[in-house]
Chains A and B, each alone.
Chain A
Amino acid sequence: MKKLINDPADVVAQSLKGFAAVHADLVTVHYDPDYVVRADAPVAGKVGLVSGGGSGHEPLHAGYVGLGMLDAAVPGAVFTSPTPDPILAATKAVDGGAGVLHIVKNYTGDVLNFETAAEMADMEGITVKSVVVDDDVAVEDSTWTAGRRGVAGTVLLEKIAGAAAERGDDLDGVLAIAQRVNASVRSMGVALTACTVPHAGKPSFDLGEDEIEIGIGIHGEPGRHRVPMATADEITDQLVDPILADLKPAAGDNVLLFVNGMGGTPESELYIVYAHARDRLEAAGLIVARSLVGNYITSLEMQGCSITVLKLDDELTALWDAPVHTPALRRGL
């Protein structure tokens, strides 16, 4: 294992230290318990948005804390959900009196810990509602049995729900927007290589030199099947087909096309995937009205990518276009 780390047990805290120093104008980092809040938190009268989960998916979630997106992010250990107490602390820190929305990726540990934190917050008089993101279409044959996983669609949901909160929607309104995004978004990923969790020290799974794993989640955990390596266009087809089959968009629908890198794939390759995916969507009669390409929700140094398609209406498009100013996403300012 070759990694730029000092001590596997200290990866998250040491990384947060650098992150805090670089982005001090946007965020404040709290330690023990670890959580990140926007520098002006709590924003009075605004619904607070809190997300979190295991680390190793950077820039998710801490990179999305700031104006127009999240109010707080709660990083757990690498690939391990945070416990309820930092989630509760973050929830209290961003409650501006209008309630708090928890954005939770559908993984058993995340759901369990966020639900528990929400109940604790309720005991302390803070109204918390939750949206569980489950955009992954691969999961039918997954080894994870808790239903579809929450993957790259989470980034789009955090942006759009964040914009809704920023424009002054109340908690039920922000929740409704978040649920609408979740109902309209589908993703599918592929791994070309495994990743190595620092404290494990060896790759999470074995993949042959000429094999790829189709339908992975954001930890490289298995999805649909293992197939031989192929061209970018052929792999892209294997990701786009199940998304279209599941989302069933109508010809003429506006969509957002998001090609996300898993951490170890160069942007040039992501654009190759994007070009063919766009051709496929347009051939299906869809209008690719918005796009996003880059490393936004990663799996450490894994090579691979995911494709996400979000059906857009006028309101979701306007919220996507609204200003955002966070460490990892800045537009419209």
Chain B
Amino acid sequence: MGELGAAWALDWMKRAQVVLGEHRMELIDLDRAIGDGDHGENMDRGFKAVVAKLDEAPPDDVAGVLKVVAMTLMSKVGGAAGPLYGTAFMRAAKVADADLDADAVVALLAAALEGIVARGKATTGEKTMVDAWSPAIDAARVVAEAGGSATEAFRAAAQGAADGAEATIPLRASKGRASYLGERSIGHKDPGATSTAYLLAVAAEAAEATLSVEVTP
């Protein structure tokens, strides 16, 4: 029996809106250094629209929430990030169980990454959001195989994504718009990997919050 359901997914998105709003300027600055400077604005606009859409008619299962997220991000984010994150959430929606345990968390994150890779044709080490998703899944898998909970899996994924985003700094971009800069992309943190780290950090926070509500008598 899994521990994370629709309430968690809805809370995750509310927290995503807040954290991406708080870090809007940071993402803009990161993207201005090696891209076209619109990532922070686009993500802020996209997740505001996501929460507005979910508030209108909250779906009653995880898959339903993730599908609304996917459709909204695709139409509101634009650029490359819209289709990439949109596809990630769409693929995650396809595999999402009604209630997530640790194995389901791994499956969900892995499906999201597969979607990003299918769409963006990037692999690890190319200074893209893949460099945050990939270590996140590895870390979550370790927890799941050790019999940990869904919340612990998300906590590990969040740490993996944060470490992965930091590790993009010395990389030279070979995919995405930053690749046109060649050597000049070295020394900058990838904005897509950074926004991924924020998204997974609040997924873990939402899981912890859900859990603390559930254990309260």
Tell whether A and B belong to one assembly: yes
**Contact B90 A112, beta carbon cutoff 8 Å:** no
Residues 110-144 of B, flagged 1 when their CB comes within 8 A of A and 0 if not, give 00000000011000000000000000000000000
Does the CB pair A84–B83 fall under 8 Å? yes
Q: Evaluate whether A85 and B119 lie within 8 angstroms (CB atoms) in the complex, with A115-B83, A116-B83, A145-B180 already known.
A: no
A84 touches B180 (CB 8 A): no
Check A120 for interface membership: any CB of B closer than 8 A: yes
Interface size class of A (residues with CB under 8 A): 10 to 19
Pairwise interchain contact A116-B87, C-beta atoms closer than 8 A: yes
Interface residues as binary, A102-137 with B (CB distance below 8 Å gives 1, 0 otherwise): 000000110011011001100100000000000000
- The yes or no answer to A254 lying at the interface (CB within 8 A) is no
Chain A CB count within 10 A is highest, among B75, B79, B83, B120, for B83
Complex contact B87–A119 (CB within 8 A): yes
A33 → chain B closest CB, angstroms: 8
- Residues A115 and B74 in contact, CB atoms below 8 Å apart: no
Contact B83 A113 (CB under 8 A): yes
Interface size of B by CB at 8 A reads: 16
How long is the Cα–Cα vector from A145 to B179 in the complex, in angstroms?
9
A143 close to B (CB within 8 Å)? yes
Which chain B residue shows the least CB distance to A85?
Answer: B75
Whether A143 contacts B71 by the Cβ 8 Å rule is no
In the complex, A83 has a CB within 8 A of chain B: yes
Interface centre among B87, B120, B180 (most CB of A within 10 A): B87
Contact A116 B80 (CB under 8 A): no
Contact between A85 and B90, CB atoms less than 8 A apart: no
Kindly state the separation between the CA atoms of A146 and B180 in the bound complex, as whole angstroms: 11
Give the docked Cα–Cα distance between A181 and B118 (Å): 26
Contact with A along B79-109 (1 / 0, CB 8 A): 1101110110010000000000000000000
* Known contacts A83-B78, A85-B75, A112-B83; A119/B90 CB under 8 A: yes
Instruction: Type the 1/0 row for A72-91, where 1 means its CB is closer than 8 Å to any CB of B.
Output: 00000000100111000000
| Interface pair B75/A116, CB less than 8 Å apart | no
In the complex, the answer to whether A83 meets B179 with C-beta atoms within 8 Å is no
Tell which of A80, A116, A119, A143 touches B180, judged by Cβ atoms closer than 8 Å: A143
The one of A84, A119, A143 in contact with B75, judged by C-beta atoms closer than 8 angstroms, is A84
CB-CB contacts below 8 Å: A136-174 with B: 143, 145
CA distance A201 to B38 in the complex (A): 19
A306 vs B84: C-alpha distance in the bound complex, in angstroms?
33
Residues from chain B with a CB closer than 8 A to the CB of A109 are: 79-80
| CA–CA, A145 and B82, complex, Å | 21
Main secondary structure of the interface of B (DSSP, over half): helix
In the assembled complex, how far is the CB of residue A117 from the closest CB belonging to chain B, in whole angstroms? Answer: 8
**Given known contacts A84-B74, A84-B75, A108-B80, is B179 in contact with A116 (CB within 8 Å)?**
no
A85: chain B residues at CB < 8 Å are 71, 74-75
Tell me which of A80, A83, A143, A145 contacts B74 (CB under 8 A): A83
CA distance A119 to B93 in the complex (A): 13
Q: Please give me the residue from chain B that is nearest to A115 by CB atom.
A: B119
Which residues of chain A from 15 to 52 have any CB-CB distance to chain B below 8 Å in the complex? 33
CB of A291, distance to nearest CB on chain B (Å): 38
Using CB atoms, name the residue of chain B closest to A114: B83
A120 lies within 8 A of B90 (CB): yes
CA distance A109 to B36 in the complex (A): 14
Which residues of the other chain, A, contact B78 by a CB distance below 8 angstroms? 80, 83
Chain B residue at minimum C-beta to C-beta distance from A108: B80
A108 to chain B, nearest CB (A): 7
Residue on B with the closest CB to A80? B78
Interface contact A112-B119, CB-CB below 8 Å: yes
A150 vs B75: C-alpha distance when bound (angstroms): 24
Residue of B nearest to A145 (CB): B179
Q: Report the nearest B residue to A113, measured CB to CB.
A: B83
Per-position binary interface string of chain B over residues 58-79, scored 1 when its CB falls under 8 Å from any chain A CB and 0 otherwise: 0000000000000100110011
CB-CB < 8 A to B82: which residues of A? 83-84, 113
Contact assessment for B71 and A112 in the assembled complex, using a CB-CB cutoff below 8 Å: no
| Beta-carbon contact of B83 and A123 below 8 Å | no
Of listed B82, B90, B180, residue having the most chain A CB within 10 A: B82
Q: Name B94's closest neighbour in chain A (CB-CB).
A: A123
Q: How far is the CB of A141 from chain B (nearest CB, A)?
A: 14
Chain A residue at minimal CB-CB distance from B115: A119
A-B contact pairs, 24 of them (CB 8 A): A33-B75, A83-B74, A83-B78, A83-B82, A83-B83, A84-B75, A84-B86, A85-B71, A85-B74, A85-B75, A109-B79, A109-B80, A112-B80, A112-B119, A112-B120, A115-B119, A116-B74, A116-B83, A116-B87, A119-B87, A120-B71, A120-B90, A143-B180, A145-B179
Binding site for A on B (CB under 8 A): 71, 74-75, 78-80, 82-84, 86-87, 90, 119-120, 179-180
Task: Add 16 more A-B contacts to A84-B75, A115-B83 (CB < 8 A).
Answer: A83-B78, A84-B74, A84-B82, A84-B86, A85-B71, A85-B75, A112-B80, A112-B119, A112-B120, A113-B83, A115-B119, A116-B86, A116-B119, A119-B90, A120-B71, A143-B180
Please give me the 5 A-B residue pairs with the lowest Cβ-Cβ distance, nearest first.
Answer: A85-B75, A116-B83, A84-B74, A112-B83, A83-B75
